[in-house]
Structure 1
Amino acid sequence: MPRIALCQLNSGDDAETNLESVRAEVASAAADGARVVVFPEATMVRFGRALAPVAEPLEGPWASAVAELAREHDVLVVAGMFTPAGGGRVHNTLLVTGLGQHLGYHKIHLYDAFGFAESDTVAPGSKLVTFESGGTVFGVATCYDLRFPELFRRLADDGADVLLVPASWGAGEGKREQWELLVRARALDSGCWVLACDQADPAATGLEVNPKAPTGIGHSLVADGFGRVTAALGPSPDRLVVDVDPAGAVQARGATGALANRRLTGGPAGTGGRLS
């Protein structure tokens, strides 16, 4: 039964300063017994600044420093960063490092919505990522991915029981309600645990809010495979440590039949999908 920490923080413009925040949070989470420590999307640097100049490969200094932290504290760390994609764009990458892992997930669904155009500076990924650690199979997704249930069901099909979702959720009317609803819905329709770690709300701590960038609303939460919220935070920087039982995902999928009873498995828009 993995103990997982969600570290809800505010990233700033400087990667080294943000690394110090990661360092402190990893040490505290490990002291609380966490074996998996999750940070938000864009932990390396926040949105709203130029990303290409700070992007580094997974073998670069920033990711290597996080990997060393994971080794030092014997934990697995998941944190949002940016890696070069070519053509002046970056990948919005989740670094997964520690306990024998060092890999990245490039965000598949880009936030071209609500007046934003993430694809102007970010190139989409195309590969799903699952990995095993301590006998539990994890999957990862990022922020806007929450609006696409087929991704979460594919992760469940690939064996995942626990899904980790770092985010930098854009503020606005109804956005908190959408955030909470989508986390619960993705848990329910995949039958997985979904642990969603958002950037803290900068307004909650008196920081400047950038209206041109999605900087976070806080309210990180955990939902089980029945869509029930089992733990949650408020808007301010904070840490949530929870124990999750992967067997609960198996139980949820067996009870709801949400995966086993599917008849439509996708297909082009307007075609009604394909019979499986």
Structure 2
Amino acid sequence: MTAHATEPRLEFVQCLDALDLHKMAYWEWGERDNPHVLVCVHGLSRQGRDFDTLARALSSRYRVVCPDVVGRGRSDWLTDPLGYQVPAYVADMVTLIARLNAHHVDWVGTSMGGLIGMGLASLHNTPIRKLVLNDVGPRIQPEALARIGEYLGLPMRFKDLDEAAEYLASISAGFGKFTHEQWLELTRPMLKAVDDSPGLQLHYDPAIGVPFKAMSPEAAALAEQMLWQRYDSIHCQTLLLRGADSDLLTRETAEEMTRRGPKAHLHEFAGVGHAPMFVADNQVAVVRDFLLGTA
């Protein structure tokens, strides 16, 4: 497979959790021996194929690796749903980077993937060289969390791809405008066949919502404090992307992130909420220019 392939390789790495071992899937683009590695990590209920367009655009310059965070996509589901937590995901990414034999990586993280990136980038001797945070920061609006909680983990079943795409579009208006074919491409990897019956279901463990829905206001306030501490410990070059209509990352929080910690460079995309999906050419260009040093 060449660096210009239109489809990725599917690989797996074994990781340790509190109770057992689990396999984490990852989608790999570009040359296996390319020392320049880009890790792209998706949002809470999504999966690694969200980055197909971005990966195709960058696979001639990078070995692009897009994991399915445990509980999503082709990765295993955890025995204990309380294991679906950001610190555990950070540990899985450390295992992944060791598997890749990468001394340094660049990182693009959407929403939850950005929180994982913040956690890893804040550590001493972090492997992250450049960090892209896509519509996420230490302070997350409770209204957005409530909106996500309304659909996260629901046992949805669909008769076909079109019905599933219509549903996912209804809960993902913030992603922006797409052609019908683009939206189908974003939807297909989100689905899997239902065992022993016709139809399709979402390709994630409904139990990923257990820790999310168990979060109390007090725990959320403590988590925000800890996330700011993590953010203030980051020293790598950081690009902060924000959908101008985002209900999760406010402009106030984004501007604070330009003054604290790594003093992120902020770029907003008009006509987008939570979160930009790197399908539009202008979104890909902003990330490419930052990562390749032309911005």
Q: TM-score range by the shorter chain?
A: 0.3 to 0.5
**Could you state the TM-score of these two structures normalised by the residue count of structure 2?**
0.37
Per residue, is there more strand in 1 or in 2? 1
Per residue, is there more helix in 1 or in 2? 2
